[in-house]
Amino acid sequence: MSGRAEECFAGVAAAPGIGIGPALAVRGDYEFVRRRPITAAQVPEELDRLESALLKTRGELLQAKEELVRSWSQASDSLFEAYLLAVDDPTILEAVRRRLESEKVCVEAAYQDVIRSFVAQMERIDDAYLRERALDVRDVGKRVLRNLRGGEEEGFELDKPRVVVADALLLSDLVSLDRRLLLGMVTEEGSQTCHAAILAQSLNIPAVVGVRGILDRIDEEAEVLVDGFAGVVILRPSEQRKFQARADQARFFAQTRAAREKRGPAATSDGQRMRISANVELPEDLPLIRENDADGVGLYRTEFLFLRSENGPSEEEQLAVYREAAEWAKPHRLVIRTLDVGGDKLLPWLAVRPLERNPTLGFRGIRLSLERQEIFRTQLRAILRASSQGNVSLMFPMVTDVGEFRRARALLQEVRQELVAEGHDLRDIPCGVMIETPAAALMADLLAEEADFFSIGTNDLEQYTLAVDRLNDRVSSLYPTPHTAVLRLIQGVVGQAHKLGRSVSVCGEMASNLALLPFFIALGVEELSMGSVLIPRVKTAVRSVCAADARDGVSAALLRKEASEVLEELNRLAERFYPELLAR
């Protein structure tokens, strides 16, 4: 396309696989604009639209200036003068006209290209005043675009198979995309355990996160190679590079196919059984459960139902979805996690006011469900009714106190009585708790007296224990996974659960980390739940392990003091059992 040499960017491998295709760049500091083609005859009409939008923006700025000057100070006056100069700048208008004539794209795209180019030039100048003015131009550009669209905002969408390259992606961005057109994902922010990465693993979409600076180097339509095995992204890859990447992909698929051929339960060489079940994000994941021989669904995240709904899903809508999942999981169990929004999963129709400064530590999980009981009760009714369809369990997220669990379970009983009174035929439904905060882990003995089972959510448990924001790659990369503190918490939780005969599942990203498999086998964890595509390889690994040897090796590893030393020992142990699975 451009004849420029390839450029290589290192990031964090978030989902295995190779994706190659044209890029769709999504920048959070600019609104997303669809590049609609136009004809030469439409250029005057597009320019008229822009001039109308500029006039409207000018009027808005003058009105805002008048109001602020009346109530504030003369400083506001000079501020708005800079904005007005940006609106009236004839060089911008002329640059847009030239771009309309040469590229034949809609005026929204042409105007944003020009603004972005102006801002980039100003930011490169070694002058603090001009760099500040770049922010003014960018802000004015957003206002003009909004007026061009009549006040409407656009979400981004895929017009053909593409690799999405973004500064960050929210779960709400991804659930609305056509998965068939999504070749790969690259983000500048985020870590391996951000929800966008988890969704990519679940849907088998190659992904690399934490790729700093790539958006500054990317051209529109540039070809991108996403290497989700190595955590590398290549701009304008050479033919040789693409050939090698496709060979790696073929080798991975061949290994996975071979693992799939040996179906059935997984047990260690000395007979210790372990269920390997699936995490499910979207209904589209369900066929993968059987394709990959999953032992049921260990974690059914219900957030997508709420993210895809404009006003919240009804009881009947939820019931249909849960029943379908229970059917796919048969003869195994389906574990449904009640709504867990907040943090990096925000619902537009369920705005939290005032906005939280740190939503990850705020109003989310069971806290939200217990306060917004109309939403919670509707979900509980749907889950209980779906239980007549199969082997259904439920669990509550973000529990930090026995009292929260009791209140949630009491509501469950109230809802059950309502449904029985209405004539519904219900089955008993085991009720578990997610162990994903240090508080829950430290109270595992007390929670085990109340709950029917535990599911350890290692992503949040790691984040809260280590005080590491899992969406911030600048700090999340400072700590190796696993950290000794987290392993000790997990060890304690499993021990307390087993004292009272409660089973334990692990459903975070640690569950599919092959270096940690001997650790979980040594503890006697009953179930690991992960993205479906990873299940055949993990089952093969389980069959390669001797549980007695794993217990000896893990005991020795945990005597090490530094997290990196523990990880080295666990890697060596895994190498002893299944070296072929650890090679790329």
The single residue of 106, 194, 431, 507 carrying the catalytic annotation is 507
Give the ranges where 4-89 is alpha helix by DSSP (H). 43-71, 74-88
CA–CA distance, 536 with 103 (Å, rounded to integer): 49
Cβ atoms within 10 Å of 150's Cβ, excluding its own: 7
Q: Please, are residues 11 and 227 in contact by the beta-carbon 8 Å criterion?
A: no
Residues linked to residue 225 through DSSP beta bridges, in sequence order = 20, 234
The single residue of 194, 195, 332, 431 carrying the catalytic annotation is 195
Active-site residue, 195 included: yes
Alpha-carbon dihedral 142, 148, 152, 157, rounded to 10 degrees? -80
CA–CA distance, 527 with 268 (Å, rounded to integer): 13
CA–CA distance, 84 with 144 (Å, rounded to integer): 12
Q: Please, are residues 210 and 188 in contact by the beta-carbon 8 Å criterion?
A: yes
Active-site residue, 507 included: yes
Q: Please, are residues 165 and 215 in contact by the beta-carbon 8 Å criterion?
A: yes
Tokens 């334990």 appear where? 504
Distance of alpha carbon 50 from the chain centroid: 37
Backbone angles phi, psi at 115, to 5 degrees: -60, -45
Distance of alpha carbon 568 from the chain centroid: 28
CA–CA distance, 219 with 235 (Å, rounded to integer): 9
**What kind and span of H or E run contains 202?**
helix 195-203
Which residues are the active-site residues? 195, 507
